[in-house]
Structures are given as structure tokens and as C-alpha cells.
Amino acid sequence: MNRYECLQSLMPLITDHLIVTSQSGQRIEWGSLSKHEGNLLLGEMGAALSVGTGLALALPKRKIVVLESDGSVLLALSSLATLANLEVSNLAVFIFDNGAYSGTRISEPSATGGRTDLETVARGAGIERSVTVRELAEFEKYAPSAMEGKALNFIVCKVQESLLHRDIPRPDLDLLENKYRFIRYLQRTEGRLPSFIGRG
Amino acid sequence: MEPELAIRLVTSLREAGIDFVSYLPESRLSQILPLMRKDPGFKLAPSASEADAVSIAVGTTLGGKQTACYMESTGIYVSCYQLLVVALHLRVPVLLLVSHLGGFDDQRNSFLYSLAGRRLIPQFEALDIEFKVLENGNHIEQDIGNAVRTMNALREPVALVFTGDFTT
């Protein structure tokens, strides 16, 4: 199973979800597959999970999806304990865990390529609905219910390292352009704007 | 901090429109937490790290909340990366409520805190985050209102640094 196949199978499940990605391959691949205005393609590691948590807290009726990587989650392990102790039931977290820092271009192994198991870490942090999937059929079994947004789901997707994202054009959406597109989408679908907008 | 000052601080936050606070608790301003917890005008998100608190604050602000992020001075070092690559890069306003633990006017300063306190202001300057140091509550209502207006205008985090009377 590779990440791109998983992302392809998520595509038909997207309705009015808000999707946050961390930096790296999932940002490029998801940005290429999906032009959904509810995408927030963050440009760094170690923050997508908590930004998604914040969105889930602010918008409890919306379904929030976070597309993360092993390296990004390992950079912010405290965010698992933070998330587990908040009242969040509208968040689906997919960790595409290839056990390596592919961005290094030398496939330097990450901790999950060694002894660390993110499902166990998440469960120990208090996230009960934590699972690991290794086959696309398993992913396709778990993804629809996670995307329904009725409970916090943490799905570690053990994927082969793929360099496909190097052959895909990178998203040309500037971070600020992305932010405003995202906010305008929320304005249309929620009927209100954040208080820092529209005070010209 | 005198209980009356804590009440004024919390009331000022509510009146300035703050309705969400992510935080890692600390020792100088901690009286504000039970007050906010009792106030239905606030939703709170305790965090295991100030780094999480900052990223959560960015998410809640994008989701329509007017958010503050409360921490002690050492939390700015912990969350520096998130402040830079998320809040400043995306230009998202967050009101940083920072106790100046270890600062010159910290009434409970000690050798444990002074090093971190001394370098807090240069840290804000390095991040180019607008800040104001409050030594007392003489103008707390106005200061908080000004900070919220400024952060919304800048579309960036703005910090209020609490020292002096706030640290007794």
C-alpha cells in the first residue's frame, strides 16, 4: 500500500470536510488530487494535528480530517496527549507512516522505522480508537466510518516509501492564498467570518 | 496577584471578545484559570505543551474563535517554532498572555527563572512579535482591548507580558 492509493480512496468520501495536511509528500499528493476549498495545506511538520484539533474544537459540527506523516507526528508527540484529553469527536487523523524521512532524499529511517509504534503511543496517550492498517482493503474499511466524524479516530497507515510526490507538481497555492480561500469557504458554509477579517 | 486584579483581567478578556483560551498552566497568573472555567463565555483547551497550545489557537482562530494563548515566559521558547511557521507564516492573530517569570520585576524571581526571563523580550523582538509589558493593572481593560484590536489589524500574534503586580 502506498500513500497515493490511500489518498485516492479518500477522494470520493470528501463532502464538506475540512482537511489539514502537514508538510511533505501528503501535502503534495493531496494538493494534486484535491482542489477542495476546505483544504489547508500547511507548509511545515509538527503542527497539522494541533491545528486540526483547534478547528475541531471551534467547529464541533464540522468533520475535520488531518493528513499527517510519521516524522511530523514524532516531532509533536505531546499533541497526542493534548488531543486525547480534549472533548473532540469530529476529527479523523490519518498518519502515513513510511518509517523514513523521505524528504532527506536518503531515506533516513524515522523512529517508527525502528522500535516506535505510533498506534501504541496514541493509545497510551489516551486515544482509544487507534488502529494500524497495512493493506489498502483495510484502509478502505476504516476510512469511511472515520470520515463520518462521529468519534475521534487515529489511523496509522503503514505505507511503502514512495517517491511519487517528487514527480507531481507541487501545489502552487501560496500559504496566505490558501488561508483566505479556506476562510472564505468557511464563510460560505458556516455563514460567518473570523473576527480578524473584513475590518478594512 | 490580588484576586481583584485576576477578576479584572478575566473580565477584560471577555469584554475584548476573547472566547477561547488554550494554555499550559503556570504559577504567576494561575488564578485566572478557575475564573475562566466558571465563565460560560470562555472555552478552554489545556495543553501538554505550549507548542500544542499555539497550534490549537491557530486552528480555533481560523475556525472563527477569538483566541488567547496563556503560558509563562519559558513557553515562548517551547512554542517559538509554531509561532513562526504557523501563526506568523499564515498570519493568524492570537493574543499571547505571557507571565514574565524570571523577569526584572518578577516578584518571585530566582536563579531558576532569571536566565529564561532575561531573554524573553529579545525573543519577541527576534520573532518580530508586537508586545507590551504590563507592570500593574492600572489600564488593564484598555491594554487588553488595544492588544486584541492590534492583533486583528496586524493578522499576527500579539503578546501581553505580565510582570510586577501580576507576579506577587
The ranges assigned to domains in chain B are 3-167
**Binary contact (A57, B151; C-beta < 8 A):** no
Contacts of A58 in chain B (CB under 8 A): 20, 59-65
Mean per-residue pLDDT, B1-9: 96
User: Would residue A156 count as lying in a domain?
Assistant: yes
Record the cell numbers describing residue A39, joined without a space.
Answer: 483544504
Contacts of B20 in chain A (CB under 8 A): 57-58
Report pLDDT for A151.
96
> Other C-beta atoms within 10 Å of B20: how many?
24
**Binary contact (A54, B56; C-beta < 8 A):** yes
Residue B124 · residue B159 · CB < 8 Å: yes
CA angle centred on B81, ends B77 and B82, rounded to 5° = 105
| Cell 536566565 belongs to residue | B115
Closest partner CB to B56 (pick from A42, A53, A179): A53
Report pLDDT for A200.
64
**Binary contact (A50, B55; C-beta < 8 A):** yes
Contacts of A44 in chain B (CB under 8 A): 85-86, 89
SS3 call for A42: coil
Interface ipTM > 0.85? yes
Instruction: Quick: pLDDT tens for B67-112.
Output: 999 999 999 999 999 999 999 999 999 999 999 999 999 999 999 9
User: Would residue A30 count as lying in a domain?
Assistant: yes
DSSP category for residue B135 = S
Contacts of B82 in chain A (CB under 8 A): 46-47, 50
Distance of CA B96 to the CA centre of its chain: 3
**Binary contact (A190, B64; C-beta < 8 A):** yes
Q: Which residues of B96-125 are buried (b: 16+ CB within 10 A; e: fewer)?
A: bbbbbbbbebbeebeeebeebbeebbebbe
Residues of chain A falling short of pLDDT 50: none
User: Would residue A54 count as lying in a domain?
Assistant: yes
Instruction: Please give the radius of gyration of chain A, using alpha carbons only, rounded to the nearest integer.
Output: 16
User: Would residue A45 count as lying in a domain?
Assistant: yes
User: Would residue A132 count as lying in a domain?
Assistant: yes
Calculate how close chain A gets to B81, using CA atoms only, in Å: 9
Look at chain A and report how many structural domains it folds into. 1
Calculate how close chain B gets to A174, using CA atoms only, in Å: 10
Calculate how close chain B gets to A193, using CA atoms only, in Å: 6
CATH code, domain with A157: 3.40.50.970
Check CB contact of A78 with chain B, cutoff 8 Å: yes
Q: Cα(B148)–Cα(A113) distance, rounded to whole angstroms?
A: 45
Residue B86 · residue A44 · CB < 8 Å: yes
Which CATH number is associated with domain B3-167?
Answer: 3.40.50.970
Closest partner CB to B17 (pick from A49, A86, A195): A195
To the nearest whole percent, how much of chain B has pLDDT over 70?
100
Report pLDDT for A199.
59
Asked if pLDDT for residue B43 goes beyond 90, the answer is yes
Report pLDDT for B48.
98
Record the cell numbers describing residue A34, joined without a space.
Answer: 484535491
Closest partner CB to A47 (pick from B55, B62, B152): B55
Structural domain of residue A132, as residue ranges? 3-190
Report pLDDT for A193.
82
**Binary contact (A196, B93; C-beta < 8 A):** yes
Contacts of A194 in chain B (CB under 8 A): 61-65
Q: Cα(A53)–Cα(A68) distance, rounded to whole angstroms?
A: 13
Report pLDDT for A190.
94
Of A161, A67, A159, A72, nearest to A108 by C-alpha is A161
Contacts of A52 in chain B (CB under 8 A): 59
Coarse DSSP helix, strand, coil percentages of chain B, rounded to the nearest 5 percent: 50, 15, 35
User: Would residue A117 count as lying in a domain?
Assistant: yes
